[in-house]
Amino acid sequence: RYSFYGKNTVSFLMVLPIALPGIVTAVALQNSFSRTIDLGLFDFRIGFGYHSLVIAHATFCIVVAYNNVVARLRRSSPNLLEASADLGAHGTQTFRYITFPLVRSALLAGGILAFALSFDEIVVTTFTAGAGYETLPQWIFTRIGRSSDVTLVNVMATFVMVVSIPLAWLAQRLSDGGLMWTKE
């Protein structure tokens, strides 16, 4: 909402992980996690495992939530914030009572969509997961060609669809502003 030096660069860097092909993001993250960073007194290394999976998925999924929140803020009137300041509210009160309720549904919808995107990502997971870590999409992908596991794979895929459809519907309703969280 505010103008500052480098605003366009920050916006570009926020959207970049989703714009790049998954394999490029995966290789970049794998190289980052395999390096040791010298912090002076001690060395820092993430390695591969649960933490690398969370960081990798957050890297490209935060874009979805960011885009939802930015779109909601652009649709909102700046007069609300000015009125809040005119009435004597400080920044924390304005955020708590005006800004956060405006973006709450966008955050929730972005979170649901980010979960769906993260759940579907196999390439980044394959490159950043440590030994012994296998997500459900990876499990389905590795067993889809085995004739002995076809029934189980179909059951799991059906379960994923049954869970995903209401989440997609809820995300759509929240992004349209269809579900309101404030009392009239």
Would you state the pLDDT for residue 37? Answer: 61
Q: Enumerate domains of the chain plus CATH numbers.
A: 7-175 (1.10.3720.10)
Contact 119, 159 (CB under 8 A): no
- Dihedral over Cα of 38, 133, 60, 16: its sign: positive
Task: Tell me the residue type at 155.
Answer: V
Is residue 80 exposed (0-12), middle (13-18) or buried (19+ Cβ within 10 Å)?
Answer: middle
Alpha carbon distances (Å) from 30 to 49, 59, 126: 11, 13, 10
Across 23-52, average pLDDT: 75
Would you state the pLDDT for residue 112? Answer: 84
Would you state the pLDDT for residue 119? Answer: 82
Contact 80, 98 (CB under 8 A): yes
Instruction: Note the pLDDT tens digit of each residue in 92-147.
Output: 998 898 888 888 888 888 888 888 888 888 888 888 887 788 888 888 888 887 77
Contact 143, 153 (CB under 8 A): yes
Q: Does residue 53 have a pLDDT over 80?
A: yes
